[in-house]
Homo-oligomer: A and B are copies of this chain.
């Protein structure tokens, strides 16, 4: 990730403008406000603004006149209770806003989460930067043979080299043609005064899906946790998980009690079906239940045994 001097100056400028507020404030989040956290080769995520903290969750659950409870311990207990019993509305009372730079194919997965506000950089209006994602060699995975939407072993040697060549070559070539069709380079300079240049809204269609875009993305804490439970999960595609992981770190700075409850009850936990629960109960009573007696399919049984750390 590389910022231009102008971008860096804008960020520095924002970080010099401190003001006094009566609002809830989180010093540990203020520490990194506006500062981009690098993700992938050219991407980043940075927190632009936030509203509320753990105490605001407690305050909303109680519809109180003041702030949180008297003791942090009581706040933690109530937040754990809310998380355990899926009382979601108090978590909706906190809000966070990010600025994200990300490859278009990641943006397309991300946008499937509809309960957020988005402003994306417009390629109808402006010229996209010449930046595209090329996976690190360790991420050049083969198609998984077991899971139709998963990755297998990492490609190596010649096959890996060929993939990198293709990705780089095609991104360079299509971006070059994008500039040629626009009759402008990425800095906005006209290439040939004798031509008019294709409309931006058309020229962009020649770019590949690993081109970087950027957006402002704002979401409440409840919906953010839902996003993270899906995208910080090991089944998520690595490229979006890299962003979700960075967001988990930012979450711990913002709402540490909620983050801890989330990691205990959601990320580290498991949902058991009625049949799975029945198996667990019977096993705990000493009964030697097998798949054949469980009513579960072979695949479900395998998933359950993995969750229980058995076999």
Contact = CB atoms under 8 A, between A and B. Distances in A.
A246 interface: no
B93 A51 contact: no
Contacts of A174: 170, 174, 208
B7 A63 contact: no
Interface of A: 3, 6-7, 10-11, 13-15, 17-25, 30, 33-34, 49-52, 56, 59-61, 63-67, 77, 80, 84-86, 89-90, 92-93, 95, 97, 99, 103-105, 107-108, 111-112, 114-115, 117-122, 124-125, 133, 135, 139-144, 148-153, 155, 159, 162-163, 166-167, 170, 173-174, 177, 180-182, 195-202, 204-210, 214-216, 218, 220, 230, 235, 237, 263-265, 267-277, 280-281, 283-285, 297, 300, 303, 307-310
A166 B124 CA distance: 19
Q: Which 3 A-B pairs have the closest CB atoms?
A: A268-B274, A10-B66, A92-B117
B284 A277 contact: no
A161 to B, nearest CB: 12
A117 B143 contact: no
Contacts of A50: 23, 51
A33 B25 contact: no
A10 B65 contact: yes
Contacts of A162: 180
A49 B49 contact: no
A93 B272 contact: no
20 contacts: A3-B65, A10-B64, A18-B20, A18-B21, A18-B22, A63-B99, A63-B119, A63-B215, A89-B118, A103-B205, A133-B205, A140-B198, A142-B197, A142-B199, A143-B197, A152-B196, A265-B271, A277-B307, A280-B308, A281-B308
